[in-house]
Each structure stands twice: as structure tokens, then as C-alpha cells.
Amino acid sequence: MLALASTAIEAADRYTILPGTPDGIGKAYQGREIAKVMSYHGAPWLERPERTQEERPDLVLATLDLTPGMKVADVGAGSGYYSSRMAERVGTSGTVYAVDVQPEMIEILKRNMSEHGAGNVKAVLGTETDPKLPAGTLDLAIMVDVYHELEYPYEMLAAIVQALKPGGRVVFVEFRGDDPSVPIKALHTMTEVQVRKEAAVHPLVWIKTVSKLPWQHLIVFRKR
């Protein structure tokens, strides 16, 4: 009981309650207000044709170095935009775990994966603190425009790291918070400095940052 109480106190101490801004939830982590989650009603925006030029998913996927047989996770998968594309690269011998916390979004994702014939994508309904991924099995986990919206970023990243194999990678793709030319609301962006600060409390080693995307940066860490 004492151990459980201590864990609860530690969790409470990680976060600060503050007056919420229009795009935030009134809760801060490591000096950053957490952004509101995009509703499943926004799923069509995730599939917009302009995304191929605005975000260059082809460059993102090339950076991931996916090969047949890999087990990967798309955390905050939404409509499955990246899940289906990663599924093609890991092949039928690989698996993509597509995680989301909204049951409605999971249903949208399942329909999209069926239309794409992506039978190697497994839809997973996670929680705000647990992506429900199998421990020690993943070669890679990716979060595309997602991490800044996690209500419990510490707990979620800890669980993601637990799901990685030794040497497995976790990849953050976030709109650049230090670039005024990026047409995205401030709370839905992150600087590289902030991402690395928040990752530093976990057993992760920074590998590289890729900044050649039009609006985003891609930041790669490896599990120690």
C-alpha cells in the first residue's frame, strides 16, 4: 500500500495545474502545457491529399529504415495514415500495432486498413497512460504529431520504452516549435530542445534529428 501511495504522489508531482489556454488542457509537464487531443471528427484532415506535400511522409518513412519482418508501433495512429504505409514496408512477416485512445478512431482505422488490405496492422485501444503494447518486442515506435497531446506523457513514454527491444528506436515527429513559418498553433508544436528534455528522463539515447521536412522535425532515440 505504501509503495502504491508513493507512486501516486510521484505521478502527481510530475504535473502542474495551471489556467488553461484555448488550445491546452490546463496541465503542464516539464514547463510545457499539454495540448488538447484532436477528436475523431478530425480524421478526414489526417487523410487530406495536401499532406503528402505539407509533411512529406515519403521522407519520414525513408528515415525509419523499415525492413520486412519488423514489429513496429504507430502510437496515436488516428485514421491509420502511417500505419498502412508502414505495413507495406514491414510486409506480411511484420506487424504494425496501431494504437489510439478513442474507440471511434479505432473503428475508422479498422475500416481504412480493410480498404488498404493491410492485414498485418493490429488495432489497439490504449489508455491515457498505457498503449497496451507487448513488452520487449518492438523494433520501433513512432508518434507523428501526437506526443504534445498525451495527457500523461511521462507514463506513456515509459510504457513505450518498455515495449521496445533493447536497442529499439522511438521516433518523435513534431511540428517545429521554433519556426515561425510553420502554420500550426503553438501548443501543437514542439522544439527539439523540449523533446530531448522530456526524453532524457527515460533510458533513451538521442541518435539524430532530421530537419529536412517542410514543417516538422523528426527526432530519433534508441533504447539503452
- Give φ, ψ of 186 to 5 degrees: -55, -45
Residue 17: burial class (beta carbons within 10 Å; 0-12, 13-18, 19+): exposed
The arithmetic mean of pLDDT across residues 190-211, rounded, is 98
**Model confidence at 196: pLDDT above 90:** yes
Q: Give strand ranges (E) for the chain.
A: 15-17, 24-29, 32-35, 71-75, 95-100, 121-125, 138-144, 164-175, 204-210, 216-223
Closest by Cα among 207, 214, 224, 216 to 65 = 207
pLDDT of residue 208: 98
Residue 20: its pLDDT value, please?
84
pLDDT tens for residues 94-139?
Answer: 999 999 999 999 999 999 999 999 999 999 999 999 999 999 999 9
pLDDT, average across residues 145-163 = 98
Residue 88 CB-density burial (10 A; 0-12 exposed, 13-18 middle, 19+ buried): middle
CATH 3.40.50.150 fits 38-223, yes or no: yes
Grid cell locating 191 = 522544439
- Cα angle: 125, vertex 36, 141; to 5 degrees: 45
- Over the stretch 18-74, which tens digit does the pLDDT of each residue have? 998 999 999 999 999 999 999 999 999 999 999 999 999 999 999 999 999 999 999
The residue whose grid cell reads 508502414 is 86
Range with the poorest average pLDDT among 11-15, 18-22, 161-165, 170-174: 11-15
Instruction: Work out the average pLDDT over 172-200.
Output: 97
Q: Is the pLDDT of residue 4 over 60?
A: no
CA distances from 209 to 79, 108, 191, 216, 223 (A): 26, 32, 11, 11, 16
Span 203-223, pLDDT tens digits: 999 999 999 999 999 999 999
Is a pLDDT exceeding 60 seen at residue 1?
Answer: no
Position 10 confidence tier, pLDDT thresholds 50, 70, 90: low
Model confidence, pTM: 0.93
> Which pLDDT band, with edges at 50, 70 and 90, does 11 fall under?
low
